[in-house]
C-alpha cells in the first residue's frame, strides 16, 4: 500500500484529468496512449503536461521508478519552457510521486516541490489550485505522524472544494476525513 492517502484522494488539476488518470492507471493501454500524445504533440509548451500524465499513469500502474523518472524529466522540460502553469503542475506531480513511492526518505525534496508549487500558484493568482497543494501537504503530514496538521490541511481543502462547487472531490475528502476519525 502506498504511504499517505489512497489514490482516490490524490492530486489532480481538474476532474477530467483525475478521472482520466485513474482510468489510464487501470488500463494496460494507458501508457501507450499517453506516449502517443507525447509523440504527436504540436507545441513544446504541452510536453511537461503530457509527461505529468505519463508519470501519473506509470504510478497508477504500480511502476513508481518510471513515474519518478518521468516526473523529473517534466521538471527539466519545464525549466526550459518557463511556463508558470506547467511549473505548478509539474512540481505538484513530483511531490505526489515522491509521497507515493519514497515517502519520508524524500521529505526535503517533497517539501521543496510543494513550496515551489505553492509559490508558483500564488504568483499566478490561481487560488483554485490551493486544494491540490493542501491535499499533498496533508499526505506529508500523515506520513510524519502529525494527525492535527493532516486533519487541518484536509479540512481546509474540503472547505475550499465545497466553496468552489467541486462536490465530487469534496465528497472524497469527506470520506477520507470520516475514515481517519473512525480509526482514531
What residue segments make up the domains of the chain, in order of their start? 7-178
CA gap 8, 3 in Å, rounded = 13
For the chain, list the strands marked E by DSSP: none
Output the CA–CA distances (angstroms, integers) from residue 82 to 37, 45, 53, 172, in the order listed: 21, 9, 19, 33
Which CATH number is associated with domain 7-178?
1.25.40.10
Q: What is the mean pLDDT of residues 39-49?
A: 67
Predicted confidence band of residue 26 (pLDDT cuts 50, 70, 90)? low
Predicted confidence band of residue 12 (pLDDT cuts 50, 70, 90)? very low
Closest CA to 5 of 136, 126, 169, 125: 136
For 38-175, list the strands marked E by DSSP: none
pLDDT of residue 159 exceeding 50, the answer is: yes
For residue 84, how far is the Cα from the chain centroid? 16
CA gap 53, 181 in Å, rounded = 32
Instruction: Please report, rounded to a whole number, the percentage of residues in the chain having pLDDT higher than 90.
Output: 64
Amino acid at each position: 500500500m502506498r504511504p499517505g492517502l489512497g489514490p482516490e484522494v490524490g492530486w489532480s488539476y481538474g476532474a477530467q484529468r483525475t478521472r482520466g488518470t485513474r482510468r489510464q492507471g487501470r488500463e494496460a493501454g494507458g501508457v501507450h496512449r499517453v506516449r502517443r500524445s507525447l509523440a504527436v504533440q504540436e507545441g513544446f509548451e504541452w510536453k511537461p503536461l503530457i509527461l505529468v500524465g505519463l508519470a501519473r499513469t506509470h504510478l497508477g500502474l504500480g511502476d513508481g521508478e518510471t513515474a519518478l523518472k518521468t516526473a523529473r524529466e517534466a521538471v527539466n522540460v519545464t525549466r526550459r519552457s518557463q511556463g508558470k502553469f506547467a511549473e505548478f503542475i509539474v512540481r505538484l506531480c513530483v511531490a505526489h510521486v515522491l509521497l507515493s513511492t519514497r515517502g519520508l526518505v524524500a521529505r526535503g525534496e517533497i517539501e521543496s516541490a510543494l513550496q515551489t508549487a505553492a509559490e508558483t500558484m500564488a504568483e499566478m493568482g490561481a487560488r483554485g489550485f490551493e486544494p491540490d497543494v493542501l491535499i499533498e501537504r496533508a499526505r506529508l503530514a500523515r506520513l510524519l505522524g502529525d494527525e492535527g496538521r493532516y486533519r487541518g490541511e484536509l479540512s481546509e481543502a474540503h472547505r475550499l472544494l465545497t466553496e468552489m462547487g467541486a462536490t465530487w472531490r469534496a465528497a472524497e475528502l469527506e470520506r477520507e476525513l470520516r475514515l481517519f476519525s473512525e480509526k482514531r
